[in-house]
Amino acid sequence: MNKSSNANTTVTLQEYERLARQALDAWALPRDSELTLIKHRENAVYQLVGNDGELYALRVHRRGYHDAANLRSELLWMTALNGRGIYTPQVIATVSGDLFTSVGDSYEHYVDMLSWEDGLPLGSLEEGVAGGPAALAKIYFEVGRLAGKLHRETENWQKPNGFVRQAWDIEGLLGDQPLWGKFWELACLDSRQRSVLLDTRRRLVEVLGKFGTSPDKYGLIHCDFLPENILQSKTELCLIDFDDSGFGWYLFEIATSLFVHLGEDHFETTLEALVAGYRQERTLLDEDLAMLPDFFLLRGLAYLGWVHTRRETDTAKELTPIVTPAVVQMAEEFLTRTNNPSC
């Protein structure tokens, strides 16, 4: 599905709250229930206090970002994972038994409710993850185990009829209409940088075509395996925010998880820890792992597309001057390496 990158820009936070309160009717909750905005990026996420005093997460989805079939598939997968021993939020059905409702003048915004899970995020994309090398190695061993278990259990899960999610494949990442936007059109790029990214795009298509999409390399992934989406509870890690989940390379998941650590002194030990944890749950061949630098580059290009199409957001304004030169440098190194394999 081609996501509408600008569909969110005309909706104010005041309007999002109005939509959230309208949606409460579907769960037979009063419209004056206590709501607190927690996050506003792709969706507006609220903490909701229910009639019983319990906390819930209410998500008002960005208009045009996912259709009903995609959202239903996301929630069904989350529910299945919970039943297979992976800690995720539980879906709270409406009083009529639906997984979500639709609100707005044309019923164009989908809203769902999830259980509120206690725990602190491991970190964030902007600020990274706190801790020294030993502490990070311990954390990322468990992160690797979680990723490996997620991929293993999903491989063994029989997807229901009508299951559909977007594909983070060659077309979705490097095609004419990438899922997160045309990274080569980012306004801050000069002509040389743009040329480098276009050359990189063409070369990556060749590299990924040779790597292939066999089931041992490619399947259903979370696709946003960032520290802010992994909560540390008292007993285990909880994986949240499946909004970008879809079909993609398992190495893309690993690259996403480690992207915030690129260039840091602790990077190698963190990588080794994650791989060791992953291999406790699922096979990861050395020959495939050797492709990881290319998937870091892919993730970086996706981020450039994201900040380009979400340039009005504070997150994009903060990340653009940091991520752009780093990704261009990665692209230059990739071209040197692939054009001169002996380097």
Enter the pTM of the model.
Answer: 0.92
pLDDT tens across 110-144, in order? Answer: 999 999 998 999 998 778 888 999 999 999 999 99
What is d(CA 13, CA 16) in angstroms, rounded to the nearest whole number?
5
CATH match for 121-339 among 3.30.1490.20, 3.90.1200.10, 1.10.260.40, 1.10.357.10: 3.90.1200.10
Q: Which of 213, 272, 202 is nearest to 247 (CA)?
A: 213
Q: 255 with 274: CB under 8 angstroms?
A: no
Instruction: Spell out the domain ranges in the chain.
Output: 13-117, 121-339
Q: Which of 342, 312, 340, 324 is nearest to 192 (CA)?
A: 324
Q: Quick one: which H or E segment has residue 76?
A: helix 68-83
Coil, strand, or helix at residue 25? Answer: helix
**Strand-by-strand arrangement of the 237-239 sheet:** 120-121, 230-232, 237-239
pLDDT tens across 267-298, in order? Answer: 999 999 999 999 999 999 999 999 999 999 99
Name residue 184's amino acid: W
What is the predicted pLDDT for the residue at 5?
Answer: 35
What is the predicted pLDDT for the residue at 343?
Answer: 47
CB contact set of 188 (below 8 Å; sequence gap of 6+): 320, 321, 324
Q: Which of 303, 326, 327 is nearest to 316 (CA)?
A: 303
What is the predicted pLDDT for the residue at 128?
Answer: 82
* Mean pLDDT (the chain, rounded): 93
What is the predicted pLDDT for the residue at 342?
Answer: 53
Coil, strand, or helix at residue 272? Answer: helix
What is d(CA 48, CA 284) in angstroms, rounded to the nearest whole number?
41
Count of alpha carbons within 13 angstroms of residue 109, beta-carbon side: 24
In the beta sheet, which residues pair with residue 102?
110
Residue at token pair 């040197």: 336
What is d(CA 29, CA 78) in angstroms, rounded to the nearest whole number?
24
Structure tokens at 200: 């990189």
Q: How many residues does the chain have?
A: 343
| Residue numbers in the chain where pLDDT is lower than 70 | 1-10, 340-343
What is d(CA 321, CA 13) in angstroms, rounded to the nearest whole number?
26
| CATH top class, domain 13-117 | alpha beta
What is d(CA 230, CA 129) in angstroms, rounded to the nearest whole number?
11
